[in-house]
Structure 1
Amino acid sequence: MSRTYPRIAALKTAAQFEAHVASLGIPLPFEPEVEAAPASPLAQASDTTAGRAGNRFSILPMEGWDGTPDGRPTDLTRRRWRRFGESGAKLIWGGEAFAVRHDGRANPNQLCLGPTSEADLVQLRQYLLEGHRAAGLGTDDLVIGLQLTHSGRYSRPDQDKKPKPLAAYAHPVLDRRVSPGGPVPLLSDDDLDDLSARLVQAAVLAQRAGFTFVDVKHCHGYLGHELLSARSREGRFGGDFAGRTRLLRQTVEGIRRDAPGLAIGVRLSAFDTTPFSKGEGDVGVPDASQADYAYAFGRWDGTDAAPDLSEARAFLSLLAELGIDLVCLTAGSPYYNPHIQRPATFPPSDGYQPPEDPLKGVARQIAATAALKADFPQLRVVGSAYSYLQDWLPNVAQAVVRSGGADFIGLGRMVLSYPDLPIDVLRGQPLKRKAICRTFSDCTTGPRNGLVSGCFPLDPFYTAHPDHARLKAVKAGA
């Protein structure tokens, strides 16, 4: 049978929300009253190697499906970046997942390194700045970075929209999913040397375009993340911890050489677990034993126990040694265990019903982030998984920052429907309830079916977009 959980929108009072959290037996920081600037913890500035960020809200990088076939932005891309600026958040973590090789694009309309990239990045950054100024905000304390990525086994780069995976190592479960007809091609050490060079090239262009940091992505099952669990891989980029982190270390060395002064950040999946798939009643079930799963970087065994963060601690120690202080923490992958990565009530078309109350997934990420922040106080840590909190996001965010559980509150899906949530919170305005993301997952279902990125249920612009009717047809067919 399918499972249902109390919807956050139905928890109308702080007492009701706190009672529900208590019934789940999970630790979740919460403050019943949200303060406005300047007293609010969320309004305080924070210094980073990339510059001083004027408040504690961060926009998380998202993967756009609305670029051109050759990897350039369109008006839809530019609109999204302007809205990132209008949000009022002072740390823009990537804005967009920017592929550094064509074969590493997660979709055929993802932004990608090419001959016009520098000019395109200048323009996107300008749109973001204009949006920030239009919201009545200064830009001297606005920190803007660009996320650099290769999608690895989740590459789908061409207009035929067919999966064309490239993996770090053979995986007994995931290989069957992305390539049912045969083995997944493995990237050679020479391929990874070339990828490192492309990451450095993209970082140089980002610096020229005015970005003050780049994110060398290590999360969500994409190539950088997969390399961290490549214990069975032979050669220079696998095996022991030094081999599995070689891509990062080599890339950091190149960036420091060719783009001196450019800060570096890393978005990391701090823990992972076995892939899940639909079971009885469409509820997610693990495809292997979570207790014995050997392919995770930071294994969570599926119990009430905390994830094993020893590998994440080793990685963060390496970042500290490399002089990297910007870290954005997340978990798992949207492709094979989305309920631990981006908790939601409604799954996307290729997903499954959550096997736990999504608040448990939120609390797990917040607790893991707080534990790592406590161990590495010198790092500037961005937390993830906040959108599912919906109406109560500001209350939890304020408590987390006040208690030192994270330095910044990362917002992803929420800014597609409600980009100005940070400004409303900081100015003490009531939340616009009709704009709050309810985790319908249409922003994932649409792109997974070749449609553009956006919030179709709540953003009037996308409600009127032709792809909204196409999305309805896809969901009706499903």
Structure 2
Amino acid sequence: MNLSHTLSLPCGARLKNRIVKTATSEGLADRHDHATPGHRRLYEIWARGGAGLLITGNVMVDRRYLERPGNVVVEDATGLQALRAWAAGGTTAQTHLWMQMSHPGRQCPKLVSKEPLAPSAVQLDLLGNYARPRAMSEAEIDDVIARFGQCANLARQAGFTGVQINAAHGYLISQFLSPEVNRREDRWGGSLAHRARLLLAIVARVRERVGADFPISVKLNAADFQRGGFSLEDSCQCALWLAAAGVDLLEISGGSFEHLRLLGDRGDPATAEDPAVAASAVKAGYFTDYALAIGQALRDAGRAMPLMVTGGFRSREAMERVLALGGIQLVGLARPFCATPDLGHRLLRGEDIPADARAASCTGNALSRWLTRFKTWRVLRVQGDVAWHARRLAQLAQGYNPENRSPAWSLIGHMWADMAHAMRRKPPLPGIAN
């Protein structure tokens, strides 16, 4: 098996190769939270770049709660024409385009809401950017389930070729899965079976709305990498339930806004605690060993479900080595595609990921290594890298050649763009919890 091989999914859909451009938060929506020509332009560039599958950034199911200003929101058919244009661009050259559907839960910034929702009233402690959430009622949980189903139905109508349910990285479904954040004592909290109830209910509702022949993916944490959080053992069990529910592809990632393993931050070496997993740690990518353990759990139980691993791949050799191990069918990259949009074709030609397709390192000197012990420094460093890639993504969407600015200047530009989006969102915001 290599990167050029096709892959047939359980629902019957077929991917032209094993390279996936995974979710990247675009922040390109208009003041109505609808898709724009920039979405079509950006995803057509990526579709022509050679990947077999493109997955969008967080598309929100509720306009009151966003991951960041500039998210596209799909609640009803009012933005359907713009979605169709986006889908047309992203499915160029027989490329699959899947809409990632998400609800931020407590990871909704104060720029959007001063009272976000969560399973329990447990606040996200991250530089004061997030307000204390309100615990959801039964009616609000039922509403979220319905919203995911509606969003998936509209995605199919618009021409997207699949959907992904974001149950990772500390967003709402991930919050329900975590015993650290979900402290409910009703049927939505307590045991893992109760904490996974929301995820499985959403999968069932989405399948009901899109039919048996439409790909449904789930993005799941291998672990939260927090004491008392969602563990690798929990992830293995959820994978078994998702396979039984007919999920077509499980993407394995990890971490949350409080532990940024998804973005390469491995925490304070003096205090970080990881789950027991292959003792040699990551051989290729951040989560390969974890994904292999989940794949083994599926095989031991006689379950079959394709797996994708995402995070930290920076060489073609590493990607091919992971596929050669067996048990993992797809390899995902996000940030490298922001800097090198034709990366898929390069990899398929046998070339490697360009060494300069990333932000400048700010960890090389002794002072930076010492500062890494402080969470605030780590968060700023990681966010600078995220902003560097986000600004390049935005410039591609606008039709510009990306500028190679520093992570610090990129972070300033990124923050200003979010503030500008927040200020120009069309009022009123019906029902927003402000």
Q: Give me the TM-score of the superposition, normalised by structure 2.
A: 0.76
Pair 1:341 & 2:267 matched: no
2:199 to 248, 261, 264: 248
**CA offset at residue 71 of structure 1?**
1.1
What's 2:71 paired with? 110
- The one-letter code sitting in structure 2 at the alignment partner of 1:316 is A
Q: How does 1:216-365 map to 2 (within 5 A)?
A: 216-230=165-179, 232-261=183-212, 262-274=214-226, 293-294=227-228, 296-298=229-231, 309-333=232-256, 335-338=257-260, 340-343=261-264, 365=287
Measure, in 2, the Cα distance between the counterparts of 1:188 and 1:201: 20
Q: CA deviation at 1:471?
A: 4.6
Is the 8 Å Cα contact of residues 259 and 265 (structure 2) preserved in structure 1?
Answer: no
Q: Output the CA distance in 1 between the equivalents of 2:130 and 2:331.
A: 42
Match for 1:205 among 149, 154, 172? 154
**Residue among 463, 467, 471 paired with 2:403:** 463
Contact in 2 for aligned 1:417/1:458 (Cα 8 Å) = no
Instruction: Check the 8 A contact 2:285/2:312 in 1, yes or no.
Output: no
Give me the whole-angstrom Cα distance separating, in 2, the residues matched to 1:181 and 1:406: 36
> How far, CA to CA, are the matches of 1:452 and 1:341 in structure 2?
15
**Residue 119 (structure 1) aligned to one of 34, 57, 81:** 81
Say whether the 8 Å CA contact 1:167–1:184 is kept in structure 2.
yes
Assess, with a 3 A threshold, how the Cα gap between structure 1 residues 129 and 443 changes in structure 2: closer, same or farther.
farther
| Percent of aligned positions that are identical | 22
SS in 2 for 1:462: coil
Match of 2:117 in 1: 166
Kindly state the Cα deviation for residue 315 of structure 1 after the two structures are TM-superposed.
0.2
CA offset at residue 237 of structure 1? 1.8
Amino acid at match of 2:325: S
CA contact (8 A) 1:65 1:452 kept: no
Contact 1:344 1:439 in 2 (8 A): no
User: TM-score, length-normalised on structure 1?
Assistant: 0.70
Q: How do 1:444-463 residues align onto structure 2 when only pairs under 5 Å count?
A: 444-445=383-384, 453-455=390-392, 461-463=401-403
Choose which of 375, 380, 383 in structure 1 pairs with 2:309. Answer: 383
Amino acid corresponding to residue 391 of structure 2 in structure 1? G
Instruction: Give the paired residue count.
Output: 376
Asked if structure 2 preserves the Cα contact closer than 8 Å seen for 1:204 and 1:259, the reply is: yes
Whether the 8 Å contact between 1:85 and 1:129 is mirrored in structure 2 is yes
CA displacement at 1:182 relative to structure 2: 7.7
Structure 2 SS opposite 1:147: strand
SS of the equivalent of 2:106 reads helix
Per the alignment, residue 4 of structure 2 pairs with 43
Cα distance in 2 for partners of 1:470, 1:175 equals 24
Distance 1:430 1:124, change over 3 A: same
SS at match of 1:116: helix
The CA deviation string for residues 194-248 of structure 1, in whole angstroms up to 9 with x for no partner, is 0110100001111112223211211000001010124521323222233212222
Instruction: Give distance in 2, aligned partners of 1:384 and 1:232.
Output: 29
Q: How does 1:6-85 map to 2 (within 5 A)?
A: 41-50=2-11, 51-85=13-47
Cα pair distance change 1:59/1:354, threshold 3 Å: farther
CA shift at 1:456, angstroms? 7.9
Aligned-partner residue type, residue 262 of structure 2: Q
Aligned amino acid, residue 269 of structure 1: N
Gaps of 5+ in 1: 1-39, 134-138, 275-292, 299-308, 346-351
Find the aligned partners of 1:210 and 1:181 in 2 and give their Cα distance: 35
1:409 corresponds to: 331
Match of 2:423 in 1: none
Secondary structure of the residue that 1:112 maps to in structure 2? coil
Q: Decide whether aligned partners of structure 1 residues 190 and 431 sit closer, same or farther in structure 2, where only a CA change above 3 A counts.
A: closer
In the TM superposition, what is the alpha-carbon distance from 1:446 to its structure 2 partner?
Answer: 8.6
Aligned-residue offset at 1:423: 0.8
CA contact (8 A) 2:21 2:51 kept: yes
Q: Contact conserved, 1:371 with 1:405, CA < 8 A, in 2?
A: no
1:66–1:453 CA contact under 8 A, matched in 2: no
Partner residue of 2:296? 374
CA displacement, residues 244-284 of structure 1 (integer Å, 9 cap, x when unaligned): 1222222233223332132311000110123xxxxxxxxxx
SS at match of 2:167: coil
**Residues 63-94 of structure 1, C-alpha deviations (whole Å, 9 max, x = no match):** 222212321123433332123212211122x3
1:372 and 1:471, CA in 2 relative to 1: closer, same or farther beyond 3 A? closer
Change in CA separation of 1:181 and 1:297 when aligned onto 2, cut-off 3 Å = closer
Q: Report the Cα distance in structure 2 between the residues aligned to 1:181 and 1:154, rounded to whole angstroms.
A: 7
Q: Is the 8 A contact 2:4 2:18 kept in 1?
A: yes
Q: Partner of 1:268: helix, strand, or coil? A: strand
Deviates more, 1:439-448 or 1:74-83: 439-448
**How far, CA to CA, are the matches of 2:71 and 2:217 in structure 1?**
21
Hey, what's the Cα distance between the residues in 1 that align with 2:414 and 2:23? 26
**Residue 350 of structure 2 aligns to which amino acid in structure 1?**
G
RMSD over aligned Cα, in angstroms?
A: 3.5
Q: Within the alignment, does 1:193 sit opposite 2:142 as a pair? A: yes
Corresponding residue SS for 2:287: helix
